Structure 1
Amino acid sequence: MDSTSHKPGDIVIQWLPPGLSLQISLDDQLAPCIDHVLPAGHKPQINVSPHFASSKLPLNGVRVAGQGHTTNKTAKSMVGGVLSSRLHYRHHVERKDGVTFALDIVSYDNMLGIEVTHTFEVFAKVPVLRSWSTLRNKSSSSITAMQTSSLSIGGMTNGTRSWSESYSVWSANNTWFREAQWQEKSLPDVGIDDVGLFELNDGHRATMARFSVSNQGSLSTETHLPMGAVTRNDGQDTWLWQIEHNGSWRWEIGDWQDGLYMAAGGPTQLDHAWEAVLRPGETFTSVPIALCHVVDCLEEAFATLTEYRRCLLRPHVDYERLPIIFNDYMNCLMGDPTEEKIHALLEPVRGCGAEYFVIDAGWYADDSSWWDDVGAWEPSQKRFPSGFKALLDGIRAKGLIPGLWLEPEVVGIRSVVAKQLPNSAFFQQRGQRVEERGRYQLDFSQLLVREHLDRVVDRLVHDFGVAYFKFDYNIDVMTGTDADVTRGISTGAAHLAHHRAYLQWVKDLLSRHDGLVIENCSSGGQRMDYAMLSVHTLQSTSDQQDPLLYAAIAAACPTAVVPEQGASWAYPQRQWNDETNVVTMINSLLGRVHLSGKLDDLEPAQYELVRQAMQVYHGVIREKLCTSRPFWPLGIPRWHDEWIALGLATVDGTLLLAIWRRSGSTKCSLALPKQHRNLRTVSLLYPTNFEAQIELEEGGFCIELPAIPCARLLQISP
């Protein structure tokens, strides 16, 4: 369909890919707007407000230099821009590629000659809408883009009266040692209210109210996950979204006429010093976001988003085997590996059933003063006098696959590499290299940087037989290099180019080295986003060293990462009692196991607890991870909760349920998901000979545990 002359109501696009229904129509300015996004089989609710049609929000949140706002939304908002209303619908195209369905909506601004193609994507039968936009300069002069949002949608509250009292907004704190901690706030508590909105006059469509969450810098999930949700209090309407970018981003919600809107995207000029100068014929494509709408509760939305995330994963043999990984860092060698220490660990690690042995930080340094000297990535002869290759060969001789920690994106200021590479290889600020915490940031948009790191990785793979890398990153650079500002490339645009080039470099590594596993770690989970996770094989979830605190992280991480990618530490210690060692083991069992701790120092009974946990993982759990859906019988975990629970619903109809008692009452009642309340057999999977009293109740069960911090893993079946 193609036309340059339309009237409001002329065009209604109904797109019905498997699993989802999307309707788009034109507003009174002829800009395309989303009417609804629904799972297949559901119809839009009857709107009680006579003003609902005016809640339409232009799909394209685009801003260019010199173009301001037309509504009461201030310039601080992502919506209400004059250009967004002038981007009139031209035509649309439906496409199909295998099990992927796509819809392109093309809009055009006659005054400036800007064309925007908004692309929607759906993976077969997964009711999640993926969205991004491509801006093209079709004029004869340059245009400077200041914002290119990936999605704007209004009318999210379905015309519900008193909607500000009926809906809440969710965001997730995500800091070092305290990842994936969700917070719920009422709309009035964040300054959004529908009082008086039905009486707006003088052409006003909104107040200035908005609530935004954003990130600036290289740690894409430091402070917050790139996610948000809006839920209705009756649990029958939920919107959930994620931004798929490994750099700067922003999302916001606010009032628009008689309803709620959401807008989201990558870097903007306002927040992140991002601008893109488009010469005639040039394009810019925004970062993808995913939007999930369920006529159900937040838990169901997370389960649906889990299925969607699996569609993003790069195929890898790792997801077929889900091996146990031993890493010598956490509460173990802590960055001080030696030949002697590693040899002492090999037999206990092998005996527990681990399949990888990863040597973490410190292997390249003669002493502990290595922080600002990293970058050459040559093994220390002092730590490994018999030779590093001989050590890795010894790991393989035990039936274990060797891996190494690497921080490829930085070079220490004392490193010889800092002298070998030119300034153009690094982020710069006014002619000086950007120094952050004793490191320089490499710029992966530069070919010489990628070639340098190719040689590093290829050497470690070919010369030493390394088959696993833990790629870490421990600095946060707020914006990109200014070396090309004189050529019209803003620091924000340089930052984005670096992040995209880094992802492509990792993809190329995996294509070149078949079977290579690359773990994503950034001070724990500080880049836990699905730009990184669509490429990297698995995710380190935290650097938390206290197992009782880690329980809140491990239980909440399936909100951010699929179970088969989310790796939580299990680090048993000789000085801990048995119940504490059980807690640390259960922290890892419903995801990927990152085993650590001084296993060679454990008493025989303590070691047997570890071995039993790994047997349960091998024999019962890991074959179910890739198809399971998470649920939380006690609600999304909060940091100070006395009781925490995480469950996985498996395709064979059974439930796996981890329960942690950290304090408070010794009894707790848990309700099972409504579709699983016919399950009546509850068995203790781990630890099998520890105390746990279970009584069946209507819709669930009650469990009684000892009056000390402890945890249990249950299996619930028909």
Structure 2
Amino acid sequence: MNNLLHWSTPELALTFALDEGPVRLVAVREASQPKGGEPDPSQPLVEVSAVGHGHSSNRHAGTLLGRQLRYVRHDETSTTLRIVQEEPATGLRVTSVFEARAGVRTWTEASISGSGSLELTFLSSLTVGLESIDAELYSAANSWMAENRWSKRAVREVLADIARDPHHHVAKSRYAVTSTNSWSSGEALPIGVLVDRSTPYALGWQIEHNGPWHYEVGETERGGYLLLSGPTDHEHQWSVEVAAGKPFTTVPVSLVAGTDVDSVFAALTRQRRAIRNRRPIDDRMPVIFNDYMNTLLGDPTTGKLLPLIDSAAEVGADYFCIDAGWYAEGDWWNTVGAWQPSTSRFPNGLGEVIDRIRQRGMVPGLWLEPEVIGVNSPIAGELPDDAFLTRHGRRIAENGRYLLDLRSPAARKHLDTTVDRLVDEFGVGFFKFDNNTMTGPGTDKDGTSLGQGLLEHNRALLDWLDGLHERHPDLLIENCGSGAMRMDYAMLSRLHLQSTSDQEHPLLYAPISAAAPAAVLPEQAGNWAYPITGTTREEFTLALVNGIPGRLYLSGHLNRMTPAELDLVRSALTAHRAVLEDLDTLVPAWPLGLPVWTDEWIALALNGPEVSYLTLWHRAPGPSTITLPLPRSTITPHFPTDVGDWTYAWTDDALVITANSPEPAARVLRLES
């Protein structure tokens, strides 16, 4: 194949075909692999549809405008590649932008040359030609209290093989994963991996958007395709006009490659670190105590908080966050919005509690749900309708809440004033930003499509967060959305911590904690550890283990615990802080495969060049033995430091572990090569 363009990042090499047809991305491989003979998938790099230029198919591949695009030029710098194409009949110009990070970050820019216009109904962020669809797709379901549920299936199971000589037809079906509404991970994660079944090759991706997205895999006449995008007309009621002076840019996506599923997630981990806007304060990685999970559950008062504050300080917490309810005189759900401390909960003022946090050597934090105003909040009547998401001129109300439109200066002013006041008055150094209410398909304010209105609001939210960090460089912000319903790298490239679930049962949290590094950097994975006083030592230990391979997010009635229980909490924090020393350099692997929700044994490894941490959960009564394919190394029990009735033995490149506990149990091991 002639006219090939080769371009590389530190870890990824891309090959494009530039000829008389549309530009095609024909090969994606690890940068260390030799070029070799390149395949020639027929899939265009960009797929695009517009009103009057659609195509008769549910899938977004094979678009008329996409096939008519023609190469104009490309521009390269040391870190960026821009490939420009035009569709001559309409004057549509698309520019595919590639940023070299660890892997590649890419998006598409659309504009019109001339005086015409187009109402776009679809524009891909990236479309990759696949040499074969003989692959397994790893994808993850996500829901409240049941996050990070990974599964795999053969692509051919969902794409019928109907190609037969002499017709050479291929199925017009697709395997599609779509997220609707404003929760970017409300039903599925914006992440996937394709693993070739015949060669050691795998392709991984993530869509970096805090709203709706779509990806699909399908078959073509010469292989297949992977297509990644933000909102679409077909799935999300999205369209946008492009004209002279009115360009449009898609949401960004990241792409990596490897030899198997673990190597791809290691590459995604490095890519996430490369795209993260890490500030000096993010290096702190404090242990945070939060009063919510299995503790106060939205009912904080002075009397309940002061003993918790003292106990959290005594076990070694660095930050103390007061969760939901601190502002509410009664129901904390539909009265939110003013963000003034409750006088009934804090008779001597919230300052008394905040002062105790600071006196005990901790940084104070507060829960905030900034994007909503309760329908019964006085602020609902003070803000103009323009401050809210609307449909047909009426405020969108969902489950007792109105939804702020962050494009509105009035909405932004309200939130800026709120955050600045809480930081200035109370010295708040940490916010847990929650998001418990979905918007629906969006807003048609200012004449946009519903999906475009939501996209503009989502981008305005990111801009607002950037402004907060500029004004408050020492402020840490947690990303929460009913647990992990908005777990994406539009948000996490900016925010410090991700709450990985609202799950309250330690045994059910185990697969969530173990799978979290597939979606989130280990140093951002806020895994709740909420030991329950009075439970057995193994139950108490397992609840703490859930937090150690990530960012231990501490909760529980510490003030009711026995001295022996508190000693175990201190021991867990000591073990966790040892992990923190290496955490932002470790990459995940799963010696038993990505966990399934019902697995008896679960294993997560966080690997470094010299030191690794292996976390093991056995979720059934013992005894039981499992063999892990691991290279021989020196094992040290990390937490708890006594192995109890577990045994470890090496065979040839495998570790044999036996749990003899009469109940479910968990351990963290330190491995040194």
Category of TM-score, reference length = shorter chain:
over 0.9
In the other structure, the counterpart of 1:211 is: 175
Query: Which string of whole-angstrom CA distances, capped at 9 and with x for unpartnered residues, describes residues 3-60 of structure 1?
Result: xxxxxx6632111343322111136x5210011111113135668xxxx63x321111
Say whether residues 1:668 and 2:668 are aligned partners.
no
Structure 1 contact 217–247 (Cα < 8 Å) conserved? yes
Deviation of 1:668 after TM superposition, in Å, equals: 3.0
3-state SS of paired residue (2:147): strand
Between the two proteins, the alignment pairs up a number of residues equal to 671
Structure 2 contact 496–524 (Cα < 8 Å) conserved? yes
Distance in 2 of aligned mates of 1:695 and 1:17: 41
In the other structure, the counterpart of 2:596 is: 638
Q: How does 1:122-133 map to 2 (within 5 A)?
A: 122-123=100-101, 126=102, 128-133=103-108
Structure 2 contact 334–400 (Cα < 8 Å) conserved? yes
In the other structure, the counterpart of 2:142 is: 174
Of 228, 250, 257, the residue aligned with 1:293 is: 257
Structure 2 contact 538–666 (Cα < 8 Å) conserved? yes
Deviation of 1:707 after TM superposition, in Å, equals: 2.8
In the other structure, the counterpart of 2:320 is: 357
Q: Rate the CA distance shift 1:398–1:664 in 2: closer, same or farther, 3 A.
A: closer
Query: Which string of whole-angstrom CA distances, capped at 9 and with x for unpartnered residues, describes residues 144-176 of structure 1?
Result: 11111101111242xxxxx54xx2112100100
3-state SS of paired residue (1:381): coil
Of 370, 373, 379, the residue aligned with 2:335 is: 373
In the other structure, the counterpart of 1:121 is: 99
Distance in 2 of aligned mates of 1:261 and 1:661: 40
Aligned-partner residue type, residue 659 of structure 1: L
In the other structure, the counterpart of 1:30 is: 21
Distance in 1 of aligned mates of 2:118 and 2:218: 29
In the other structure, the counterpart of 1:5 is: none
Q: Rate the CA distance shift 1:17–1:184 in 2: closer, same or farther, 3 A.
A: closer
In the other structure, the counterpart of 1:88 is: 70
Long gaps (5+) in structure 2: none
Structure 2 contact 622–663 (Cα < 8 Å) conserved? no
In the other structure, the counterpart of 1:261 is: 225
Deviation of 1:198 after TM superposition, in Å, equals: 6.4
3-state SS of paired residue (1:703): strand
Aligned-partner residue type, residue 43 of structure 1: P
Say whether residues 1:43 and 2:38 are aligned partners.
no
In the other structure, the counterpart of 2:649 is: 695
Query: Which string of whole-angstrom CA distances, capped at 9 and with x for unpartnered residues, describes residues 378-418 of structure 1?
Result: 00111111111122111100001000000000000000010
Say whether residues 1:446 and 2:408 are aligned partners.
yes
Say whether residues 1:554 and 2:540 are aligned partners.
no
Q: Rate the CA distance shift 1:170–1:17 in 2: closer, same or farther, 3 A.
A: closer
Structure 1 contact 214–250 (Cα < 8 Å) conserved? yes
In the other structure, the counterpart of 2:444 is: 482
Query: Which string of whole-angstrom CA distances, capped at 9 and with x for unpartnered residues, describes residues 185-243 of structure 1?
Result: 112322x1445266544xx5x32121100011111101100111211235711111110
Q: Rate the CA distance shift 1:217–1:364 in 2: closer, same or farther, 3 A.
A: same
Distance in 2 of aligned mates of 1:660 and 1:347: 31
Distance in 1 of aligned mates of 2:534 and 2:497: 30
Query: Which string of whole-angstrom CA distances, capped at 9 and with x for unpartnered residues, describes residues 620-646 of structure 1?
Result: 210111000111111100100000011
Deviation of 1:183 after TM superposition, in Å, equals: 1.1
Aligned-partner residue type, residue 31 of structure 1: P
Say whether residues 1:519 and 2:475 are aligned partners.
no
Structure 1 contact 318–537 (Cα < 8 Å) conserved? no
3-state SS of paired residue (2:381): helix
Deviation of 1:696 after TM superposition, in Å, equals: 1.3
Say whether residues 1:223 and 2:187 are aligned partners.
yes
Aligned-partner residue type, residue 666 of structure 1: P
Query: Which string of whole-angstrom CA distances, capped at 9 and with x for unpartnered residues, describes residues 589-632 of structure 1?
Result: 011111000000111111111111001112x2101110001111
Distance in 1 of aligned mates of 2:53 and 2:395: 35
Of 54, 60, 83, the residue aligned with 1:68 is: 54
Aligned-partner residue type, residue 139 of structure 1: G
Long gaps (5+) in structure 1: 1-8, 158-162
In the other structure, the counterpart of 1:251 is: 215
Structure 1 contact 235–297 (Cα < 8 Å) conserved? no
Structure 2 contact 622–664 (Cα < 8 Å) conserved? no
Q: Rate the CA distance shift 1:405–1:197 in 2: closer, same or farther, 3 A.
A: farther
Structure 1 contact 194–255 (Cα < 8 Å) conserved? no
More displaced 10-residue stretch of structure 1: 664-673 or 176-185: 664-673
Aligned-partner residue type, residue 115 of structure 1: R
Percent identical among aligned pairs is 39
3-state SS of paired residue (2:540): helix
Distance in 1 of aligned mates of 2:645 and 2:280: 38
Q: How does 1:496-515 map to 2 (within 5 A)?
A: 496-515=455-474
Distance in 2 of aligned mates of 1:231 and 1:255: 16
Aligned-partner residue type, residue 561 of structure 2: L
Distance in 2 of aligned mates of 1:437 and 1:588: 32
Q: Rate the CA distance shift 1:584–1:716 in 2: closer, same or farther, 3 A.
A: same
Distance in 1 of aligned mates of 2:219 and 2:234: 20
Distance in 2 of aligned mates of 1:668 and 1:363: 48
3-state SS of paired residue (1:179): coil
Aligned-partner residue type, residue 16 of structure 1: S
Of 586, 591, 615, the residue aligned with 2:550 is: 591
Structure 1 contact 197–257 (Cα < 8 Å) conserved? no
Structure 1 contact 34–56 (Cα < 8 Å) conserved? no
CA RMSD of aligned residues (A): 1.6
Structure 1 contact 484–490 (Cα < 8 Å) conserved? no
Length-normalised TM-score, structure 1: 0.91
Say whether residues 1:137 and 2:112 are aligned partners.
yes
Structure 2 contact 480–498 (Cα < 8 Å) conserved? yes
In the other structure, the counterpart of 1:3 is: none
Structure 2 contact 257–267 (Cα < 8 Å) conserved? no
Say whether residues 1:615 and 2:574 are aligned partners.
yes
Structure 2 contact 591–628 (Cα < 8 Å) conserved? yes
Q: How does 1:187-198 map to 2 (within 5 A)?
A: 187-190=155-158, 192-196=159-163
Distance in 1 of aligned mates of 2:328 and 2:301: 11
Distance in 1 of aligned mates of 2:387 and 2:62: 40
Say whether residues 1:272 and 2:236 are aligned partners.
yes
Q: How does 1:564-603 map to 2 (within 5 A)?
A: 564-603=523-562
Query: Which string of whole-angstrom CA distances, capped at 9 and with x for unpartnered residues, describes residues 237-256 of structure 1?
Result: 11111100000100000101
Distance in 2 of aligned mates of 1:505 and 1:646: 36
In the other structure, the counterpart of 1:160 is: none
3-state SS of paired residue (2:511): helix
Distance in 2 of aligned mates of 1:199 and 1:583: 61
In the other structure, the counterpart of 1:105 is: 83
Distance in 2 of aligned mates of 1:175 and 1:457: 29
3-state SS of paired residue (1:56): coil
3-state SS of paired residue (2:245): coil
